[in-house]
């Protein structure tokens, strides 16, 4: 689409990098008119490649007219989930190793390299034990060649960061590794979550910095000279400079951008946002015009953090979910994402020929495992081919994709479990293809950019092996997808556990929740009618949303809204958000040596502490400092004329928390 505008000085470019597609939107900022959109496949091994492709697809007439670029990215979330972050040494000061071990919390630290040292403070900011700086420096000297970054978390550091700051100054004299301090990321007092957040932030520093550098280079090559913003996990924006320092804040960036985009395009202040992508389906709730935020902090994988992020649920269900036969012979959709066979056959002529030959075989021989193909995505580094089997597999796939049974035959193996290629797949050297909902869309003609015949043949083989009619089976798969989505919505909104769809349990017939759920979707009881009704409408986001969510809305007795440009609403959300910075200052009592009498109050910022005899004076200083710090940080993060609001609450024990929120529209280039 041509990207002309009546007001060229107000053009902004939004980009969202999802698990399958990278989307871009060119918009006139003040009128909020979408001028051009484009989608390209995400290149997960190097997101910057997909971003360059999608920028080229927008066909910008005059790059000098772009006044802002904003990106939402799944990079941090994926890096954590896939274990691709950098190696981190975590220094724990004042933590009790026996207590941590007794509750089995070591696995939550997000790194296997954690070390305990004496020090830390108590609930009133008093030194609990003397800091063992010599031991810390000795440990750093020992590990500095084995890790890529360091994280430091001291007990109750939000109340007194002295030990973290002393450690930072000492370490910088003996090594040049990046160092992350826990108190700079969170004022929450949860020690485990703060340590986890610090470790994850350290692991992501180099990853996100490389990404931002690559995006900046892509912009420079296209003569785009504009501020670069990044979407936080709560849907607000921050400058690329802030994002590079606190990459952990981009956890859930993509789903948050989808929620913002859905709200923006629909104009609705209360709705359930359901974003159907190629890899996942993400749920978020819009209430009173705002994305609901998780009070507990973002969770990614099994790591709980102190990061504020949108309250959302992601399930492994999308256009590229692998359709297989489960253990109980029932149809399974996902959780694995694969390349659609229609796409693979469009790129490799040999795949279409093999599928035709497979369809002519007797039903008993044309098994579904023949529909799973492996393909070589790129040449691996020599060091990665550790075993002879891995080398033989790569050599075999250089001639083109092959179905798994043929790979086993060529490598003289009996079963797929003998074929260990997990690392090659994790690093995207080898990929998988199979039957997916995208292939069903090709058969139905609703989305058919690739090889329709290949999709039809694959479904025929799959259905015949199940002794089923292909059309009947296709309808059953769509019903199963709707069932999975309804299940996710009900559990997300209710906060209650429910047996997953397709679960087979001996007590299922006696379980009221299980019966209620299935009787609501498939009314079978002669006397009792049950139903779930969603009070808000569903706003569908993502290219497959119309196909995936029609039955879902029916099952929940609500309206499905597909606003204009719903296919790329996530990229719209990347530029529709506001810049927000939150600063918190703690006010807590100074006690006598006996600990029985309050003789004053500390005002603790991230780096400074001020002492006052009177609580009113301490609170007044906290308000002034908090407002000034939030305003300054918002301006540095790219806000234009930010407005500041203050709120206060007590944490108990004469402790108070002053919170300043500075918000403003992003500042466009002049």
Residue 541 is predicted with a pLDDT of 92
Least confident of 145-149, 296-300, 400-404: 296-300
Mean pLDDT of 559-585: 93
pLDDT by residue (tens digit) across 504-535? Answer: 444 445 578 878 887 888 888 888 888 889 99
Residue 424 is predicted with a pLDDT of 84
Task: Judge whether residue 3 has pLDDT over 60.
Answer: no
Average pLDDT, the chain: 88
Topology of 579-666 in CATH? Answer: Translation Initiation Factor IF3 (3.30.110)
Q: What are the residues whose beta carbons fall under 8 Å from the beta carbon of 156, sequence distance 6 or more?
A: 94, 120, 121, 122, 123, 125, 128, 189, 191
Per-residue confidence at 87, pLDDT binned at 50, 70, 90? very high
pLDDT by residue (tens digit) across 339-397? Answer: 999 999 999 989 999 999 888 887 666 788 889 999 999 888 876 676 778 888 888 99
- What is residue 198's three-state secondary structure? helix
DSSP secondary structure string for all residues of 83-124: T-SPPEEEEEES--HHHHHHTT-GGGGS-S-EEEES--B-TT
Mean pLDDT of 209-228: 90
Q: How far apart are CA 47 and CA 127, in angstroms?
A: 45
- What is residue 589's three-state secondary structure? strand
pLDDT by residue (tens digit) across 292-323? Answer: 888 777 877 678 888 888 888 888 889 999 99
Mean pLDDT of 150-163: 95
Neighbours of 331 (CB within 10 A): 18
Q: How buried is 309 (Cβ within 10 angstroms: 0-12 exposed, 13-18 middle, 19+ buried)?
A: buried
Q: How buried is 614 (Cβ within 10 angstroms: 0-12 exposed, 13-18 middle, 19+ buried)?
A: exposed
Give me the residue spans of the domains in the chain.
Answer: 88-204, 322-468, 474-570, 579-666
The pair phi, psi for residue 348, each rounded to 5°, is -130, 110
Mean pLDDT of 440-457: 92
Mean pLDDT of 252-269: 91
Q: What percent of the chain has pLDDT over 90?
A: 54
Question: Fold match between 88-204 and 579-666?
Answer: no
Residue 502 is predicted with a pLDDT of 60
Task: Judge whether residue 5 has pLDDT over 70.
Answer: no
Q: Which two tokens stand for residue 512?
A: 């009221």
Residue 501 is predicted with a pLDDT of 67
Per DSSP, which regions of 29-105 are E strands? 33-41, 66-73, 88-93
Q: How far apart are CA 380 and CA 362, in angstroms?
A: 38
Residue 635 is predicted with a pLDDT of 94
Task: Judge whether residue 4 has pLDDT over 50.
Answer: no
Task: Judge whether residue 96 has pLDDT over 60.
Answer: yes
Q: What percent of the chain has pLDDT over 70?
A: 96
Least confident of 142-146, 298-302, 471-475, 557-561: 298-302
Residue 75 is predicted with a pLDDT of 81
CATH annotation of 88-204: 3.40.50
Residue 509 is predicted with a pLDDT of 54
Per-residue confidence at 20, pLDDT binned at 50, 70, 90? confident
Least confident of 120-134, 166-180, 198-212, 419-433: 419-433
Residue 625 is predicted with a pLDDT of 96
Is the distance from CB of 111 to CB of 200 less than 8 angstroms?
Answer: no
């Amino acid at each position: 689409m041509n990207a002309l505008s009546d007001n060229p000085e107000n053009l902004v470019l939004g980009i969202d990098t999802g698990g399958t597609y990278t989307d871009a939107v060119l918009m006139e900022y003040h009128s909020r008119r979408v001028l051009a959109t484009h989608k390209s496949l995400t290149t997960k091994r190097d997101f910057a490649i997909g971003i360059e492709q999608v920028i080229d697809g927008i066909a910008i007439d005059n790059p000098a007219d772009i006044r802002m670029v904003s990106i939402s990215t799944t990079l941090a979330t994926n890096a954590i989930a896939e274990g691709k972050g950098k190696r981190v040494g975590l220094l724990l000061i004042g933590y009790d190793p026996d207590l941590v071990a007794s509750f089995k919390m070591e696995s939550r630290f997000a790194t296997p390299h954690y070390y305990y040292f004496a020090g830390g403070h108590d609930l009133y900011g008093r030194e609990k034990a003397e800091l063992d700086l010599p031991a810390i420096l000795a440990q750093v000297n020992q590990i500095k060649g084995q890790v890529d970054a360091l994280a430091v978390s001291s007990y109750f550091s939000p109340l007194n960061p002295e030990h973290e700051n002393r450690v930072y100054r000492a370490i910088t004299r003996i090594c040049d590794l990046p160092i992350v301090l826990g108190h700079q990321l969170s004022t929450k007092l949860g020690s485990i979550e703060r340590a986890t957040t610090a470790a994850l932030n350290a692991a992501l520093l180099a990853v996100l910095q490389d990404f931002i550098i690559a995006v900046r280079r892509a912009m420079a090559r296209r003569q785009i000279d504009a501020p670069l913003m990044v979407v936080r996990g709560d849907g607000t924006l921050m400058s690329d400079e802030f994002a590079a320092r606190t990459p952990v804040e981009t956890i859930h960036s993509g789903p948050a951008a989808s929620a913002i985009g859905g709200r923006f395009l629909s104009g609705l202040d209360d709705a359930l946002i359901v974003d159907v992508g190629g890899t996942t389906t993400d749920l978020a709730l819009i209430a009173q015009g705002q994305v609901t935020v998780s009070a507990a902090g973002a969770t990614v994988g099994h790591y709980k953090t102190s990061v504020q992020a949108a309250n959302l649920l992601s399930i492994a269900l999308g256009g590229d979910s692998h359709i297989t036969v489960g253990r109980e012979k029932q149809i399974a959709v996902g959780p694995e994402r694969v390349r659609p066979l229609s796409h693979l056959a469009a790129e490799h002529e040999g795949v279409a020929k093999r599928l035709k030959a497979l369809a002519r075989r007797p039903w008993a021989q044309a098994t579904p495992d023949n529909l799973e193909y492996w393909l070589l995505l790129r040449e691996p580094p020599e060091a990665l081919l550790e075993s002879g089997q891995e080398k033989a597999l790569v050599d075999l796939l250089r001639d083109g994709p092959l179905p798994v049974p043929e790979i086993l035959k060529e490598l003289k193996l009996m079963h797929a479990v003998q074929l260990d290629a997990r690392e090659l797949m994790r690093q995207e050297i080898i990929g998988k293809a199979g039957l997916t909902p995208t292939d069903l869309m090709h058969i139905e003609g609703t989305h058919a950019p690739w090889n329709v015949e290949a999709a039809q043949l694959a479904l025929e083989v799959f259905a015949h092996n199940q002794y089923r009619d292909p059309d009947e089976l296709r309808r059953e798969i769509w019903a199963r997808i709707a069932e999975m989505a309804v299940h996710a919505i009900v559990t997300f909104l209710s906060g209650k556990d429910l047996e997953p769809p397709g679960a087979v349990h001996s007590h299922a017939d006696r379980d009221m929740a299980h019966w209620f759920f299935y009787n609501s979707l498939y009314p079978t009881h002669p006397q009792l009618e049950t139903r779930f009704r969603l009070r808000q409408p569903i706003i569908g986001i993502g290219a497959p949303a119309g196909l995936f969510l029609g039955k879902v809305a029916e099952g929940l007795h609500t309206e499905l809204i597909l606003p204009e440009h719903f296919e790329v609403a996530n990229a719209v959300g990347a530029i529709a958000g506001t810049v927000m910075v939150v600063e918190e200052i703690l006010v807590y009592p100074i006690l006598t040596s006996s600990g029985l009498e309050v003789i004053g109050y500390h005002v603790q910022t991230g780096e400074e502490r001020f002492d006052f005899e009177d609580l009113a004076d301490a609170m007044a200083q906290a308000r002034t400092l908090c407002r000034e710090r939030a305003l300054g940080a918002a301006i540095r993060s790219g806000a234009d004329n930010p407005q500041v609001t203050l709120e206060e609450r007590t944490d108990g024990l004469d402790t108070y928390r002053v919170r300043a929120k500075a918000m403003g529209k992003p500042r466009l280039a002049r």
